[in-house]
Structure 1
Amino acid sequence: MRFLILGGTAWLGSTIATAAMHHGHKVTCLARGESGQVPVGIRFVRGDRSRPDAYAQVASEDWDVVVDVSRQPGQVTDAVQALGERAGSYTFVSSGNVYADAATPGQDERGHLLEALPGDVMESMDSYGEAKVACENRVLERFGAGRSLIIRSGLIGGPGDLSDRSGYWPLRFSEPAGADGSVLVPDTPGLLAQLIDVRDLAEWIVDAGEDGTTGIFNATGETVTLAEHLAVARAVAGHTGPIVGAAAQWLLDHKVGPWSGPRSLPLWLPLPDYAGFNARDSAAARAAGLVTRPLAQTLADTLRWERRRVPEGPRRAGLADADESALLAELAAG
């Protein structure tokens, strides 16, 4: 089969392209080429999706599967218009951020969506969910339900995760900031977590393209409590030091942010407002062939990658050693 990956030089796109190549398909990546190199053996077509001639080199070819990971509605509109007559199917990787309700765990694909972004350009991440809704709509309008696969992905992690959300905890347990080996964790009983390995998501995207799977699917890792996730991270790191829990309000009062970003504790989310944000129902995707590896394998592989990694600038999520040491000292002082 002939796969066209719109992107293919950044993390997810490159992983999809590699998986398709390993399946024996002919793979082309269309990208600016600024996020990295395409894997060896894959055809690269340079194209800037913000330009009207972006698809000139591929629009005259036939494609069995087009895969798109964009967050910009205008880019998706141009792509589906340029490729609509030449592509057998269109896979769009969307996000669980499209749902309006973040408080209810276990929601499936019938959940109410945010209003679609009215314009073509997502100006900031504050409108990420709305932009992805608009992208979904534009794929469905051009390709129809019978030729479209919309994948609403949960949190993606694994080796290569530059967001630091999946790598922070195994690395922190491997290299505690506390002098006595203590690690600061959020004390949030009942908070759920889902992490899908980028390799598993990519493999299913390729499998679904081969099988002609269409429809709309949530794609997430297995649902566990955050406490269970942290226990797995601790185990793969071999940590035996103290675990120091801090209540959500204490963390907020001390300027520790949830989920990601500087001075944060990754994967932690305030309850009850975000009880369902990382707890979607992906039973339909699993019935359609999605297979996910054990969380321990993902975190162990991510830890190995983290230990080899040379960070470029500050990390994008987590606490710096000095910040965590100061917070631990304050907790110990009562």
Structure 2
Amino acid sequence: MRLLLLGGTEFVGRAVAEAALERGWEVTVFHRGTHAAPSGARVLHGDRTAEGGLAALAEGEWDAVVDTWSAAPSVVRDSARLLADRVGRYAYVSSRSVYAYPSPAGADESAPLVEGSPDDGERPYPESKRGGELAVLDAFGDRALLIRAGLIVGRYENIGRLPWWLNRIARGGPVLAPGPRELGVQFIDVRDLAEWTLDAVAAGLGGPYDLVGPRGHSTMGELLEACAAVTGSDAELRWTAPEAIAAAGIEPWIPLPFWVPPGELYDTVHGADVSKALAAGLRCRPAAETVADTWAWLRSIGGVAPHRGDRPTVGLDPELEAKALAG
């Protein structure tokens, strides 16, 4: 297979590129050149947001392209139109954020969607991803694969969710553990997303697929206890009820990565029905394996994970955590 990665040097794109190279595929990485491309990939440089920035893609044919763009949909539109006659399939890594809020527990690919346009400039994240989907559909039709990912974690994570929990628990001492302990959480190891994506384009799949671990795959307890085990920490996980967390003025999600209390937001974030992807071969490794491998990677780069400048900094302020624990 001849694979073109639009990006391919940071998180999701890098995982896809590495997985394709391991399969012996011919991989071309098109990027701005601010990060090193995976060893073995052919490299093309260009800035998709600049006039003439796609010039390096004016020639060439590929069996598939994988695109992880998450900003202006018009950028996806221009790439898709340029490649439509020279690429077999276009896999766009979208997001479950394209579903209209709130999504009920058990929602699947048939749930209502937000509005979007392939011609939009910068828009809020859900509308940008939906516009990107429409851009790919306009250019590729049934050759478009829409990968509506949930929470993605693992090696190279540049959002900081799992790295924050690992570093916080590694520091030890009392840790505010948002409960209930048995609360299920849905996420996917970036390597599992990458392998499924490659299998899907090789099989000629098209249309939308929700891609995240199945409901019940892991819990907050399993996740944080795995962090404690792999770091060898003496941390004391103090499981705290959602009501007490709210009373302490702590918001869900960004201050406490992965976690949202039971309710409307929880059903939207952690209630996806991924039966379609499972039927199409999705396999998710145990949470403990993802945690262990992420910790090994984090240690290998000095403990400080990279961070995308267009995303908020995650994690709980130490003073607020201490105040809540003293509660």
Do they superpose with TM above 0.5?
Answer: yes
Amino acid of the structure 2 residue aligned with 1:9: T
2:287 is the counterpart of 1:295: yes
Equivalent pair of 1:191/1:269 in contact (CA under 8 Å): no
CA distance in 2, matches of 1:222, 1:237: 26
Of 250, 260, 266, the residue aligned with 1:275 is 266
State the secondary structure of the residue aligned to 1:3: strand
Match of 1:195 in 2: 187
Structure-2 residue corresponding to 1:45: 44
- Deviations, residues 305-325 of structure 1 (Å, cap 9, x unaligned): 233444279992212444433
Shift of 1:188: 4.2
Matched residue of 1:285: which SS?
Answer: helix
Say whether residues 1:168 and 2:164 are aligned partners: yes
Q: How far off its partner does 1:241 sit? A: 4.8
Instruction: Give yes or no for contact 1:122–1:131 (8 Å, CA) kept in 2.
Output: yes
1:11 is aligned to 2:11: yes
Cα distance between partner residues in 2 of 1:91 and 1:237:
36
Equivalent position of 1:77 in the other structure = 77
Contact map agreement 2:73 2:118 (CA 8 A) in 1: no
For the 8 Å contact 1:76–1:135, the answer to whether it is kept is yes
Q: Which residue of 2 aligns with 1:22?
A: 22
Specify the alignment match of 1:105 in structure 2. Answer: 105
Counterpart pick for 1:133 among 114, 130, 133: 130
Note if contact 1:103-1:275 (Cα within 8 Å) is conserved in structure 2.
no
SS in 2 for 1:140: helix
User: Which sections of structure 2, spanning at least 5 residues, go unmatched?
Assistant: none
Alignment correspondent of 2:67: 68
- Tell me the distance in 2 between the aligned counterparts of 1:225 and 1:106: 17
- Percent identity between the two aligned chains: 38
Secondary structure of the residue that 1:206 maps to in structure 2? helix
The reply on whether 1:55 has 2:54 as its aligned counterpart is yes
Once the two structures are superposed, residues 20-68 of structure 1 have per-residue CA deviations (whole angstroms, 9 ceiling, x without a partner) of 111111111111122x110111111111101242322223211100111
Deviations, residues 199-255 of structure 1 (Å, cap 9, x unaligned): 111111122222222221011023233344334434444456533233334434434
Query: Does the 8 Å CA contact 1:192/1:275 hold for their aligned counterparts?
Result: no
Using the alignment, how far apart are the partners of 1:48 and 1:251 within structure 2? 44
5 Å-filtered alignment, 1:201-212, equals 201-212=193-204
Question: Please, what TM-score do these two structures have when normalized by structure 2?
Answer: 0.89
TM-score (norm 1): 0.87
Q: CA deviation at 1:169?
A: 2.5
| Aligned partner of residue 110 in structure 2, secondary structure | coil
Q: Could you tell me how far 1:295 is from its partner in structure 2?
A: 0.7
In structure 2, C-alpha distance between the alignment counterparts of 1:104 and 1:197, rounded to whole Å = 24
8 Å contact kept, 2:117–2:135: no
Q: Against the structure 1 CA distance between its residues 119 and 78, is the aligned structure 2 distance closer, same or farther, given a 3 Å change threshold?
A: closer
Distance 2:229 2:106 in 1: 27
Matched, 1:218 2:214: no
Q: How many residue pairs end up in the alignment?
A: 318
CA distance in 2, matches of 1:9, 1:313: 12
2:223 aligned to which of 229, 251, 266:
229
Whether contact under 8 Å (2:188, 2:213) holds in the other structure is yes
* Per-residue CA distance 1:84-140 (angstroms, 9 max, x = gap): 1111110000001111143522211111111115752225xxx10111111111111
Q: What is the letter of the counterpart of residue 45 of structure 1? A: L
Distance 1:102 1:306 in 2: 34
User: What residue ranges of structure 1 are gaps of 5+ in the alignment?
Assistant: none
1:244 aligns with 2:238: yes
